[in-house]
Amino acid sequence: MIKKIDWYILKQFLVTFIFCMLLFTVIAVAVDSSEKTDDFVKHRLTTYEIITKYYVGFIPYIWGMLFPLFVFIACIFFTSKMATRSEVIAILASGTTYNRWLATYVVGGVFFGLLLWVATRYGIPKANEVRGNFQTLYLDSGDPAKGEFGSSSYYYKRTDSFTYMGLRYFDTSSKTGSSLFLNRLEDDKLVYNLRADNFRWDTAQNNWKLFNVVERRIDSMNETLNSIPEMNINLNISPKDLHRDYYLKDKLTTPELVKFIHLEELRGTEGLNTLKVEWYRRSATPASVLLLTIIGAILAGRKTRGGSGIHLAVGIIIAAVFIILDRFSTVFSTKGNLPPLLAAWIPNIVFFFVAIYLYRKAPK
Q: Do 61 and 127 fall within a single domain?
A: yes
Last-in-domain residue among 204, 224, 243: 243
SS3 304: coil
What is the DSSP secondary-structure string of 82-126?
HHHTTHHHHHHHTT--HHHHHHHHHHHHHHHHHHHHHIIIIIHHH
pTM above 0.85, yes or no: no
**Residues 127 and 74 occupy one common structural domain:** yes
Clarify whether residues 236 and 305 are in a common domain. no
Tell me, yes or no, whether 134 and 283 share the same domain.
Answer: yes
- Is the same domain home to 100 and 75? yes
pLDDT bracket for residue 148 (50, 70, 90): very low
User: What integer is the mean pLDDT of 88-112?
Assistant: 91
Residue 9's pLDDT band, with cuts at 50, 70 and 90, is very high
What does the pLDDT read at residue 149? Answer: 43
Which pLDDT belongs to residue 160? Answer: 76
Radius of gyration, CA atoms only, the chain: 27
Q: What whole-number distance in Å separates Cα of residue 39 and Cα of residue 160?
A: 43
Q: Average pLDDT, stretch 281-294?
A: 93
Looking at 146-155, 255-264, 311-320, which range is the least confident one?
Answer: 146-155
Mean pLDDT lowest among 43-52, 220-229, 352-361: 220-229
- For residues 90 and 184, membership in a common domain is answered with no
**Total count of domains within the chain:** 2
Residues 116 and 199 in one domain: no
Q: What is the pLDDT of residues 35-80, one digit of tens each?
A: 998 888 888 888 999 999 999 999 999 999 999 999 999 999 999 8
Cβ partners under 8 Å of residue 287, min gap 6: 113, 348
The answer, yes or no, to whether residue 300 has pLDDT greater than 80, is: yes
Q: Where a domain ends, among 225, 243, 261?
A: 243
pLDDT of residue 295: 93
Indicate whether 109 pLDDT > 70.
Answer: yes
- Answer yes or no: do 191 and 138 share one domain: no
Q: Does the residue 264 lie in any domain? A: no
Q: Which residue has the higher pLDDT, 280 or 144?
A: 280
pLDDT at position 341:
92
The verdict on residue 133 lying in a domain is: yes
Whether 257 maps to a domain, the answer reads: no
Which pLDDT score, from 0 to 100, does residue 316 have?
81
Average pLDDT over residues 263-285: 85
pLDDT at residue 152 greater than cutoff 80? no
Domain presence at residue 89: yes
Is the same domain home to 23 and 135? yes
Lowest mean pLDDT among 242-246, 287-291, 342-346: 242-246
The phi and psi torsions of 202 (rounded to 5 degrees) equal -95, 105
Distance CA 359, CA 353 (A): 10
Give the residue from 223, 243, 263 where a domain finishes: 243
Using alpha carbons only, give the angle 96, 20, 23 rounded to the nearest 5 degrees.
Answer: 160
Question: CB 265: neighbour CB atoms within 10 A?
Answer: 13
Query: Does residue 116 surpass a pLDDT of 50?
Result: yes
Query: Does a structural domain hold residue 343?
Result: yes
**Domain span at residue 155?**
151-243
- Domain shared by 122 and 194, yes or no: no
Note whether residue 265 is domain-resident.
Answer: no
**pLDDT tops 50 at residue 147:** no
Q: Is residue 263 part of a domain?
A: no
Sheet holding 151-158, edge to edge: 151-158, 163-171, 176-186, 189-202, 207-218, 223-233
Note whether 133 and 206 are same-domain residues. no
Do 163 and 181 belong together in one domain? yes
